[in-house]
A and B are shown apart, each in its own frame.
Chain A
Amino acid sequence: MALALTEEQQILQSTAREFIAANAPVTHLRGLRDGKDATGFSRDLWAEMAKLGWAGLIEDEANGGSALGFGELAVLFEECGRKLAPSPFLASVVLAGGCVRAGAPAELRNPILSGVARGETLLALALDEGATFAPYAVTAKAEKSGDGWVLTGEKTFVLDGHVADRLVVVARTSGSSGDRDGLTLFLVDAPAKGLTITRTTMVDNRNAATVKLDGVAAEVVLGTVDQGADVLDPVLDRATAVFCAEMLGLMTEAFEHTIEYLKTREQFGVKIGTFQGLKHRAAAMFAELELSRSVVRETVSAIDDDGPDVPTLVCVAKARCSDAVSLIAREMLQMHGGIGMTDEADIGFYLKRARVQELTFGDASYHRDRFATLQGY
């Protein structure tokens, strides 16, 4: 397994970095926020990214993709994470796209995925119902009706749900909340009857939606009825892994900014970076960052190698990144003093996004618990 970036990955990284710097620096996100943009990201920018091949990066060549791996995908997520670049990348390509890739019937799979790879079709996954991540805690119901199903229930925190053309909805076909068995994944068109999607504006100016299902008719099942978790689990692991790369990007940028500030800001007639009270904390952040980078690399390369330890590595990566991104974002604010409290500086954007990242796909204690359970203690 490769922990160091390959030469090709390094090239991808520098192209992505240039592209993001030119097209999606933090001012881009700030502009969307200040303009109360209804989409929450730029469709033009997403079209540009798709043109660069990002939306089809892991898609088969037959569907217009370039069939690269999660190692490459992670490189892009890290660069997006650095500048908080908003896009439907995660929701459409990795999350809901992943469910379609793994579970859709052949005649639907390819047309949908080639639309996703062109950046034209947008997908979203409607899973969460409560205030914390618990993928099996599903009460939304699907009941048989003729050849199809009828869905009722309510979903929260549906990333980019408000712009999705199609939703992947996780509903219960048997069992009770918390059971792994009895989940089924349905593909639903966004304008379906009985479906209400309401955008919520999140603290980080990104998008999540609440989705109400009031007798929505669904015909397409992804995977097998009652065995939806077989499709969902690996998709969530993969999405979590690249999301960790995004977190890595955020913390890297926040860290570098902070170190730069410690080298330039003067108080008491000296650079504040001379104070050991800040130095040692900077050193501790450095270790957190380096350890996070190692485990993220290992996790995405384990995915590409289809290694058996993907679930445990995902736990390690997400727990580590959640703790590290939180620490580094908080220290960034503190070490900038009063300026960090102002909206004018970008620091608050990093802090807010970090808080959302910490929680998305489960926080550190969720993943420690999952890891301990997987290990049997």
Chain B
Amino acid sequence: MDSLESFRQEIQSWLEQNCPVSQRQLREGEEAVPWGSPQFGEEAQQWLDRCAAKGFTCPSWPKEYGGGGLSKEQERVLRQEIGTIGAQVPGGSFGTHMLGPVLLELGSHEQKLRFLPDIAAGRTVWAQGYSEPGAGSDLAGLQTRAVRNGDEYVINGSKIWTTGANNADWMFCLVRTDPEAAKHDGISFILFNLKSPGVTISPIELISGASEFCEVFFEDVRAKAENLIGEKNKGWAIAKRLLQFERTMISGFGAGPGGKRSGKKKRVAKVYRAMADMALQYQPQKDGKLANVTLRDQLTQNEMDTICFTLSTKRAGEEAKAGAGPGHTASMFKWYATELNKRRQELIMTSLGSKALGWEGEGFEPHELAQTRAWLRSKGNSIEGGTSEVQMNVIAKRVLGLPD
């Protein structure tokens, strides 16, 4: 038997013994998406801890940093098998998907040892301190200042739209360390504890009713100089690298809820089967088909787009492996996936008709109420992590080489 096959069997029996039955169901919508800090129930926490102990939350990270030390092929097998039992790799977060990969590439050994194991084990929740009131799309226009004082930096300024800051322990933050330098040349990337004196966090309510967003104010907040990642004033390159990871993460949601998991093709078919069944249930039929031919056509188009999108991410993977990767496709995928997801949400709304318009209380099923909010939340997809327009600028410039 080849070693990958025996690895698969090992995983199968480990999962059988360790994954609580309650965790063997796909988490949908917001729950499946690692924004902010999910609140774990008892069995979910148990599942997370067991995975973390094996390094399965970050399967390809080195073991010494809390990962599983698995090869890409083994990681794929692991994800497939977890997907097969209907579960998902627990603990996805800004830490695992964004900061972790950046630290692995660009952090010092000490920094990796200090931060990565806590991320992998889900012990620290991270927030992303990028956007400011005057610097959203124009991220490099940020004004939050950090001034060196002995072995510390003293931070003043504010951040906005910070997802999950109210539940977070630490922040990775972009700060201006040289106000005289050109826009992109005076930025640094620093980590600090959000419980530090001088940090004020106030939640902002979203249109979906959730309040995962925060405004964060810094007044003489002290951060250890050793927690500056990379070189002082060279933070812009790190910031952009992290955005690539962020875009890749977000585009993973385009393949339907839980689209990053294994068995994507089957999963896509399942998601759309469910959407079609729902439409057939709520909308008039004619000869067993949806009588609303426009809706039928749009559902089909959306499913086809999703199939093409999923195949494209797969092809990008295969071509990258063969050394012929097109590069910079993260922006294309981010743009396409989020617009696709918004269209999908609109279609589900149309399918459910007035049943999708409930807000709370009587008269609506829980999944109908959840749909209303999922639809509203999806509007943020094409804004967070860089707007669609900004992604298209990146594609035009970086991929197609069009002039400025």
Report yes or no: B392 in contact with A283, Cβ–Cβ below 8 A.
Answer: yes
- Alpha-carbon gap, A290 to B300, bound state (A): 20
Q: Does A332 contact B (CB under 8 A)?
A: no
Q: Which residues of B contact A315 (CB under 8 A)?
A: 304
Q: Which residues of A contact B301 (CB under 8 A)?
A: 319, 368
Q: Which residues of B contact A279 (CB under 8 A)?
A: 392-393, 396-397, 402
- Alpha-carbon gap, A280 to B397, bound state (A): 10
Partner of A287, one of B272, B336, B389, B403: B336
Q: Looking across the interface, which residue of chain B has its beta carbon closest to that of A262?
A: B402
Can you list 27 A-B pairs, Cβ within 8 angstroms, ordered by A? A2-B318, A3-B314, A3-B315, A3-B319, A4-B318, A4-B319, A270-B403, A276-B393, A279-B392, A279-B393, A282-B402, A283-B391, A283-B392, A283-B393, A286-B332, A291-B308, A293-B312, A295-B307, A320-B308, A368-B297, A371-B303, A372-B297, A372-B299, A372-B300, A375-B276, A377-B280, A377-B299
Report yes or no: B401 in contact with A295, Cβ–Cβ below 8 A.
Answer: no
- Alpha-carbon gap, A2 to B311, bound state (A): 11
Per-residue CB contact flags for chain B residues 277-294 toward chain A (1 = under 8 Å, else 0) read 001100000001110000
**Smallest beta-carbon distance B5→chain A, Å:** 20
- Alpha-carbon gap, A103 to B324, bound state (A): 41
A-to-B contact residues, CB < 8 Å:
2-4, 259, 262-263, 270-271, 273-274, 276, 279-280, 282-284, 286-287, 290-295, 297-298, 315-316, 319-320, 365, 368-369, 371-373, 375-377
B-to-A contact residues, CB < 8 Å:
272-273, 276, 279-280, 288-290, 296-297, 299-301, 303-305, 307-309, 311-312, 314-315, 318-319, 321-322, 324, 326, 329, 332, 335-336, 389, 391-393, 395-397, 399-404
Q: A282-B400, A372-B296 are in contact. Are A3 and B318 (CB under 8 A)?
A: yes
Q: A377-B276, A377-B280 are in contact. Are A286 and B312 (CB under 8 A)?
A: no
Report yes or no: A319 in contact with B402, Cβ–Cβ below 8 A.
Answer: no
Beyond the given pairs A287-B336, A291-B305, A293-B312, 10 more chain A to chain B contacts, judged by CB atoms under 8 angstroms and listed by A's residue number, are: A263-B402, A271-B403, A283-B335, A283-B395, A290-B312, A295-B308, A315-B304, A319-B301, A377-B279, A377-B289
**Smallest beta-carbon distance B245→chain A, Å:** 20
What is the number of contacts between chain A and chain B, taking CB atoms within 8 Å? Answer: 122
**Smallest beta-carbon distance A294→chain B, Å:** 4
Q: Looking across the interface, which residue of chain A has its beta carbon closest to that of B322?
A: A4
Q: A274-B403, A280-B389 are in contact. Are A320 and B315 (CB under 8 A)?
A: no
Q: A280-B389, A286-B332, A372-B300 are in contact. Are A316 and B308 (CB under 8 A)?
A: yes
Q: Looking across the interface, which residue of chain B has its beta carbon closest to that of A365?
A: B297
Q: In the complex, which of the residues A286, A294, A373 has the most CB atoms of chain B within 10 Å of its own CB atom?
A: A294
Q: Looking across the interface, which residue of chain B has its beta carbon closest to that of A316?
A: B304
Q: Which residues of A contact B288 (CB under 8 A)?
A: 376
**Smallest beta-carbon distance A290→chain B, Å:** 6
Q: Which residues of B contact A280 (CB under 8 A)?
A: 389, 392-393, 396
**Smallest beta-carbon distance A269→chain B, Å:** 13
Q: Looking across the interface, which residue of chain B has its beta carbon closest to that of A6?
A: B322
Q: Which residues of B contact A2 (CB under 8 A)?
A: 318
- Alpha-carbon gap, A315 to B301, bound state (A): 11
The 4 tightest CB contacts between A and B, nearest first, are A3-B315, A279-B396, A294-B311, A283-B395
Question: At the interface, is chain B mostly helix, strand, loop or mixed?
Answer: helix
Q: Which residues of B contact A297 (CB under 8 A)?
A: 311, 315
Report yes or no: A320 in contact with B304, Cβ–Cβ below 8 A.
Answer: yes
- Alpha-carbon gap, A283 to B402, bound state (A): 10
Q: Which residues of B contact A298 (CB under 8 A)?
A: 311
Report yes or no: B401 in contact with A263, Cβ–Cβ below 8 A.
Answer: yes
Report yes or no: A4 in contact with B324, Cβ–Cβ below 8 A.
Answer: yes
- Alpha-carbon gap, A161 to B187, bound state (A): 68
Report yes or no: B308 in contact with A292, Cβ–Cβ below 8 A.
Answer: yes
- Alpha-carbon gap, A368 to B303, bound state (A): 10
Report yes or no: A259 in contact with B400, Cβ–Cβ below 8 A.
Answer: yes
Q: A274-B402, A280-B396, A282-B396 are in contact. Are A294 and B314 (CB under 8 A)?
A: yes
Report yes or no: A294 in contact with B299, Cβ–Cβ below 8 A.
Answer: no
Q: Looking across the interface, which residue of chain A has its beta carbon closest to that of B325?
A: A4
- Alpha-carbon gap, A23 to B395, bound state (A): 35
Report yes or no: A4 in contact with B308, Cβ–Cβ below 8 A.
Answer: no
Q: In the complex, which of the residues B318, B321, B389, B402 has the most CB atoms of chain A within 10 Å of its own CB atom?
A: B402
**Smallest beta-carbon distance B269→chain A, Å:** 8
- Alpha-carbon gap, A270 to B312, bound state (A): 34
Report yes or no: A283 in contact with B396, Cβ–Cβ below 8 A.
Answer: yes
Report yes or no: B315 in contact with A284, Cβ–Cβ below 8 A.
Answer: no
Q: Which residues of A contact B308 (CB under 8 A)?
A: 291-292, 294-295, 316, 320
Report yes or no: B403 in contact with A368, Cβ–Cβ below 8 A.
Answer: no
- Alpha-carbon gap, A96 to B289, bound state (A): 34
**Smallest beta-carbon distance A208→chain B, Å:** 28
Report yes or no: B276 in contact with A273, Cβ–Cβ below 8 A.
Answer: no
Q: Which residues of A contact B297 (CB under 8 A)?
A: 365, 368-369, 372
Q: Looking across the interface, which residue of chain B has its beta carbon closest to that of A270?
A: B403
Q: In the complex, which of the residues B288, B324, B396, B397 has the most CB atoms of chain A within 10 Å of its own CB atom?
A: B396
- Alpha-carbon gap, A246 to B220, bound state (A): 63
Q: A293-B315, A316-B307 are in contact. Are A286 and B395 (CB under 8 A)?
A: yes
Q: Which residues of A contact B312 (CB under 8 A)?
A: 290-291, 293-294
Report yes or no: B296 in contact with A377, Cβ–Cβ below 8 A.
Answer: yes
Q: Which residues of B contact A373 (CB under 8 A)?
A: 289
- Alpha-carbon gap, A294 to B318, bound state (A): 11
Report yes or no: A259 in contact with B392, Cβ–Cβ below 8 A.
Answer: no
**Smallest beta-carbon distance B154→chain A, Å:** 40
**Smallest beta-carbon distance B250→chain A, Å:** 15
Q: Which residues of A contact B321 (CB under 8 A)?
A: 4
Report yes or no: A291 in contact with B309, Cβ–Cβ below 8 A.
Answer: yes
**Smallest beta-carbon distance B59→chain A, Å:** 23
**Smallest beta-carbon distance B297→chain A, Å:** 5
**Smallest beta-carbon distance A339→chain B, Å:** 19
Report yes or no: B318 in contact with A259, Cβ–Cβ below 8 A.
Answer: no
**Smallest beta-carbon distance A6→chain B, Å:** 9
Report yes or no: B322 in contact with A263, Cβ–Cβ below 8 A.
Answer: no
- Alpha-carbon gap, A375 to B299, bound state (A): 11
Q: Which residues of B contact A262 (CB under 8 A)?
A: 402
